[in-house]
Structure 1
Amino acid sequence: MENNCSGTLALDLGNTNTVLAFQAEKDRDFILIEIPGITSSPGVIPSVVWFEGGDNVGRIGLSALKKKNLSYSEKYFHSNFKRLIGNPIERQKKKVLSPIESGEKFFKILWENIPLEFNIKRLVLTAPIDTYKGYRKWLISLCESLPINEVALVDEPTAAGIGMNVPLGSIIMIIDIGGSTIDMSVIKTQGGEGKSAPIAELLKFQGKDVSAISKQKLRCAEIISKSGSKVGGKDIDQWIVNYFLPSNQDERNFSIAEKLKCKLSGQEIESERKYLISLFTAENEEKEFFISKEIFEKIMMQNNLLSHLNSLLKDLLNEARGKFFNLDDLNSVILVGGGTQIPLIKKWITNKMSGIQINSPPPIESIAIGALAMTPGVKIKDILIKGLSIRLFNKREQKHFWHPIFYKGQTWPTEKPFELILQASKDGQNIFEIIIGETKTKRNFDVIFENGLPKLSESQNEEEVFKWNKKPLQINVNNECKIGEDSLKLYFSIKKDSSLYLRCLDIYEKELGVFNLGNIF
């Protein structure tokens, strides 16, 4: 790699592991960053902090993890702090650092240890959707001290969907089995037909805090339902140790079990093949055992893992049904976290989601990769304060109606044009009139009175559309068209100068011109 390679760094802070992925400005590929003594594998950092207080610098990642089994680690070893940031419900045991301080210490040490050859022009961070607002508030404060001019933020489910090229506006189920937790969620991503695509939100631009400016709008995925538990890969490691040495709490054994678990999760592993495992007894002596894929799956079954997953899935779907959702509405299932790669769990997911597309991206770095995909051209955009529509003719009802082009709240300048195909409303038509309308900047709501008190009605009136006070554009076609026949292809877009532009082609793809229809304000 070139010295001082400039680009974007994606940092996905997880409950168990944090992922660092870097993408150079002119490169479509990404790099997983290695930091000696901190990363446990390329781009993967255990989300843990060791801090004894005072002037102690502290440690993170692999070097902090190695101190976990010390007798006084309960006070100085900090983990699972991400889940507590922005979450006012859960509480942490008394530690030297609070969850917020743990996160800040983690970021500070990590930033100071990123190799110098990476010239970071933009940092993109990910945030959990269920505690997004509180977590975002913490990140805004954190970014003030980071020596970087541009910081962007995306929500984790959207990043996962974008990373797997799931169509915008899709309903997806995300199953995330990490080291400490199992999280299942059904979400709907932003975007889709007639709506703008999700974009990263800028927190910092040109060195200035832009998180509160009016041009920014939170564009998170919508949670339909969610379930989860504090069970994860680390519990499976302990089950393996307990199977051979009941009640053994030697941290070395858990690390050995984790490596073996990863090996037994490989698709090529034969069920009957046995593997040697050496564990430390209470007397600090090594004792050898044999384990196979069959025994591994037996251990998980004995600890009711599949029953637990069934219960979580049942809760998830019951909540979703309350919002008129069922499995047939799912576009895709995305698997996140190392636990989803265990064959027994993958088989369970496949059986439960029969007929639904299952996407299994790289389990650990998938969200960071999706975050990178959302940010190559991120910039500050304005939002429409009113909707724009085109007037069309309904030949069946013999009346005109307004068809939306851009909705209020969409960002502009637009990245992709809105495409519309026009049909002739009468035989012999060779002139098409383009009439644009707009909604009010403020919507009127119906007010009703109950017991003499004003109250908003449950259903609101549709927003009224007003015709633009501009001369309509007339487009001439060479051939006379027949009623109901596709005749024109229209491509609407809003440019940087806040003008609405129209590119027009006939049905044979012949260019008829690009027209400025007027300013949107």
Structure 2
Amino acid sequence: MTIIAIDFGTSNTVVCTVDPVTQTPRTLRFNAISRGFETPGGQVFVVPTLVYVQKDNSLVFGEKVRSQRLGFSQPERFFQAFKRDLAADFQPPPRQIDGNSYSAESVAKLFIQEIWQQLAQEKLQPTQVIFTVPVGAFERYLDWFRDIAQNLGVPEVQIVDESTAAALGYAVKRPGSVILVVDFGGGTLDLSLVRTVAAKGGQKVLKAEVIAKSDAYVGGVDIDVWIVDNYLRQINSSREEVKEIGWQNLLEVAERLKIQLSTAPEAKESWFDDENFIAHDLNLNREELEEILENQQLLEQLRQALDEVVAVAYTKGVGKTDIELVALVGGSCLIPAVQQLIISYFGKSRVKLGRPFEAIAHGALMLPDLVEVEDYLQHGYAIRLWEPQMKTYSYFPLFEKGSKYPCQRDELLTLQVALDGQREIRLDIGEVADISQAEVTFDSQGRMTSSQLEHQSQYRSLESHHEQVCVAHLDPPGHTGIDRVEVFFEVNRGRVLLATVKDLVTGRVLVEKGAIAKLQ
């Protein structure tokens, strides 16, 4: 049995397996596409989440794209941060390159397929794959991974929240502990508070309970943009003036400055303006970076996320002092201002910077050792209804945020047709969530920009094209005024919303535990 865990990240992707000799997690290194990082715990290997389309339509992935700086020659052929685009409700328009169309979804699929080919070259044939996803991931995003696994012929697939996976990695070795993971990566900020329950004698973990979690769609890629925007304001310039190649250069410089400031109080880099043939020096210190993060409300968002987790935990009988370990993972946790804020919140003795790049994937490999992970819904499920008189939407709740799953809806939903002769009953079913994210906009070429954090409520249909889901095909056709179908809703252990539909006229069960997003 070969288990592979894939932490598909906005900036970097980590792939690992269980070493057959030591039975411990082992991060895989793919010579063609991996990059080494030096960390306090030693060198780790990641695959930069980058894709470049060459003129002959062949593709370049990972470290080859970064080291050869392919994105700077023809930026329109360069794809980055497509994981976050894939998870977004409104994706940028597909790019047309040499007569072929490339969307965030298709590029992400090509990237995962390349990972799969690299596994084959390593003579690894996975029997089980564990994908990690952001805490706030919507079901459509999870369905995409399930479909990918099916297309790749994976016999078994599991999906787990990224920060929860990291928490399991720490907690499984400490049965009975309460551990908080703050996962701050390239695209998202995720927090999970997990408690493990040991079997009698403390030999094996029987259950892991997710007590509280919080999330925001903001990460290292936003910070890089903010640093560049701040610099351009200082020199009275703009993205339009430096052009796309200059912008990509500056983003790379900003990332290097950010990394330097994790170990030094000041950082300096140079860049060359190819459009105007002028060399520039960029200087940034920790105080200036902290001011940028405060002005963009990122540190306030982190405080709010910590407050939310502590507040939810308190309602479940877990106090702030009960948290034994606060583990920081993700590259953005290397930022001193982020570390200092968390240390001031919990105290230095409890905060540890563990394995910032590997903790999630390594933790995901602990799932097979657990009999059960008890989790709850970060988003609610609801039916969206149009109110023509008010010219607005209303929502009929199916499951509330915070419901533990697996769960069932106590009441059956009885539906009638709206028109005589109607042959289908369709519903607009989706997830309702409170979202904190950097406002994302796209220009005419599909390039992403981001600005200050915004807080908003969102409804996201389970159907990817925002269409209503057909829950029942009626034969014979329906008649108004007559109860036609009963629908029983439940959420399974994989966090999939299922429906069982019974035709009240014929007595037939039309759908038995069907996944809502796939009922079409």
Query: TM class by shorter-chain length?
Result: 0.5 to 0.7
Aligned residue among 204, 216, 233 for 1:228: 216
CA spacing shift, 1:29–1:314, aligned 2, 3 Å = closer
Contact 2:51 2:61 in 1 (8 A): yes
Q: 1:250 to 1:157 in 2, by over 3 A?
A: closer
C-alpha separation between the residues in 1 aligned to 2:35 and 2:367? 27
Aligned-residue sequence identity (percent) comes to: 25
Equivalent residue number for residue 338 of structure 1 = 331
State the alpha-carbon separation in 1 of the partners of residues 208 and 142 from structure 2. 12
Deviation of the 1:191 alpha carbon: 3.8
| Segment of structure 1 superposing worse, 366-375 or 289-298 | 289-298
Root-mean-square deviation (Å) = 4.2
Work out whether residues 155 and 221 of structure 1, in 8 Å CA contact, stay in contact via their aligned partners in 2: no
- Cα deviation per residue 1:195-233 (whole Å; 9 max; x = unaligned)? 99678xxxxxxxxxxxxxxxxxxx885363423232x22
1:127 aligns with 2:132: yes
- Tell whether the 8 Å contact from 2:9 to 2:186 is kept in structure 1 after alignment: no
Counterpart residue number, 1:181: 188
Cα drift, residue 100 of structure 1: 4.3
CA contact (8 A) 2:132 2:360 kept: no
> Could you say if the C-alpha distance between residues 27 and 289 of structure 1 is closer, same or farther in structure 2, counting changes exceeding 3 Å?
same
CA distance change for structure 1 residues 328 and 31 in 2, over 3 Å: closer, same or farther? Answer: closer
d(CA) in 2 for partners of 1:303, 1:83: 21
Taking a change above 3 Å as real, the CA distance of residues 158 and 243 of structure 1, as seen in their structure-2 partners, is closer
Seen in structure 2, the aligned counterparts of structure 1 residues 288 and 99 have a Cα distance that, compared at 3 Å, is closer
Are 1:79 and 2:81 matched, yes or no?
yes
Note the alpha carbon deviations across 1:418-450, whole angstroms, 9 max, x for none: xxxxxxxxxxxxxxxxxxxxxxxxxxx9xxxxx
2:167 and 2:193 in contact (8 A); partners too: no
CA 135–63 in structure 1, closer or farther in 2 if over 3 Å, else same: same
Number of matched residues?
347
Asked whether the equivalents of residues 157 and 221 of structure 1 are also in contact (C-alpha less than 8 Å), the reply is no
Separation of aligned partners in 2, 1:142 and 1:339: 28
Q: Deviations over 1:448-484 (max 9, x none)?
A: xxxxxxxxxxxxxxxxxxxxxxxxxxxxxxxxxxxxx
| Cα offsets for 1:141-160 (capped at 9, x unmatched) | 32233366665555434431
Matched, 1:259 2:256: yes
Alpha-carbon spacing, 1:44–1:283, altered in 2? closer, same or farther (3 Å) = same
Specify whether residues 234 and 158 from structure 1 end up closer, same or farther in structure 2 by C-alpha distance, changes over 3 A only: closer
Give, as a single letter, the amino acid of the residue that structure 2 aligns with 1:238: V
Distance 1:47-1:289 versus aligned 2 partners, 3 A rule: closer
Matched with 1:61 is 62
Structure 1 equivalent of residue 382 of structure 2: none
2:289 and 2:142 map into 1 onto residues whose CA distance is 40
Paired amino acid for 2:166? A
Corresponding residue number in structure 1 for 2:280: 287
- Contact kept, 8 Å, 1:46 with 1:61, in 2: the verdict is yes
> 1:418 matched to which residue of 2?
none
Greater helix percent: which structure? 2
* Residue aligned with 1:176, SS: strand
Structure 1 residues 257 and 82 mapped into 2: Cα distance closer, same or farther (>3 Å)?
Answer: closer
1:21 to 16, 24, 40: 16
| TM-score normalised by the chain length of structure 2 | 0.55
Q: For residue 369 of structure 1, report the CA deviation from its aligned partner.
A: 1.5
Aligned partner of 1:141 in structure 2 is 147
Amino acid corresponding to residue 25 of structure 1 in structure 2: P
**What's the offset of the Cα at 1:174?**
2.4
Any conservation in 1 of the 2:167–2:192 contact (CA below 8 Å)?
no
Give the superposition deviation at 1:99: 4.8
Tell me the CA shift for residue 365 of structure 1: 0.9
* Offset, 1:17: 1.9
Could you state the TM-score of these two structures normalised by the residue count of structure 1?
A: 0.55
1:12 Cα deviation (Å)?
1.3
> CA 1:72–1:293 in 2, change beyond 3 Å: closer, same or farther?
closer
Structure 2 partner of 1:11: 6
Supply the distance in 2 between the matched residues of 1:367 and 1:241 (Cα, whole angstroms): 29
Assess, with a 3 A threshold, how the Cα gap between structure 1 residues 257 and 115 changes in structure 2: closer, same or farther.
farther
Task: Specify which of 354, 359, 364 is matched with residue 357 of structure 2.
Answer: 364
Q: Which residue of 2 aligns with 1:313?
A: 306
For 1:104 and 1:196, the matched residues in 2 are separated by 40
Aligned partner of 1:464 in structure 2 is none
Instruction: Quote how far apart the aligned CAs of 1:18 are.
Output: 1.0
Give the deviation of 1:136 after TM superposition: 4.8
> Any residues of structure 2 matched to 1:377-456 within 5 Å, and which?
none
Take 1:83 and 1:339, find their aligned partners in 2: how far apart are those partners?
19
Alpha-carbon distance in structure 2 between the residues aligned to 1:345 and 1:265: 10
Within 5 Å, give how 1:67-106 maps onto structure 2: 67-68=70-71, 73=76, 77=79, 79-81=81-83, 84-85=86-87, 90-95=89-94, 96-106=101-111
Deviations 1:151-183 (A, max 9, x none): 555543443123224534644332221112222
**Other structure's SS at 1:112 match:** helix
**Is 1:278 aligned to 2:270, yes or no?**
yes
Task: Name the SS for the 1:141 alignment partner.
Answer: helix
Runs of 5+ consecutive residues of structure 1 not aligned to the other structure: 1-5, 200-218, 383-444, 446-521
- Aligned equivalent of 2:34, options 33, 39, 58: 39
| Separation in 2, partners of 1:27, 1:170 | 25
1:163 to 169, 181, 189: 169
Distance 1:352 1:236, change over 3 A: same
Decide whether the 8 Å contact of 2:197 with 2:208 is kept in 1. Answer: no
Work out the CA distance in 2 between the residues paired with 1:7 and 1:77.
31
> SS of the counterpart of 1:164?
helix
Q: What residue in structure 2 maps to residue 116 of structure 1? A: 121
Contact 1:127 1:136 in 2 (8 A): no
Q: Which amino acid aligns with 2:47?
A: I
Alpha-carbon displacement from aligned partner over 1:472-502 (angstroms, at most 9, x marks no partner): xxxxxxxxxxxxxxxxxxxxxxxxxxxxxxx
Letter in 2 for 1:58: L
Once the two structures are superposed, what CA deviation does each residue of 1:324-368 show, in whole Å capped at 9, x if it has no partner?
A: 654234343221211112222111101111277223211111111
CA contact (8 A) 1:32 1:43 kept: yes
Contact conserved, 1:78 with 1:102, CA < 8 A, in 2?
no
Q: State the one-letter code of the partner of 1:262.
A: I
Tell me, in whole angstroms, the C-alpha distance in 1 between the residues paired with 2:204 and 2:139: 21
Q: Is residue 50–residue 62 contact of structure 2 (8 Å, CA) maintained in 1?
A: yes
What is the alpha-carbon distance in structure 2 between the residues aligned to residue 44 and residue 116 of structure 1? 17
1:457 matched residue in structure 2: none
Q: Which amino acid in 1 is paired with 2:35?
A: S
In the TM superposition, what is the alpha-carbon distance from 1:291 to its structure 2 partner? 4.0
Report if the CA contact (8 A) 1:21-1:43 is conserved: no
Deviation at 1:44, TM superposition (A): 1.1
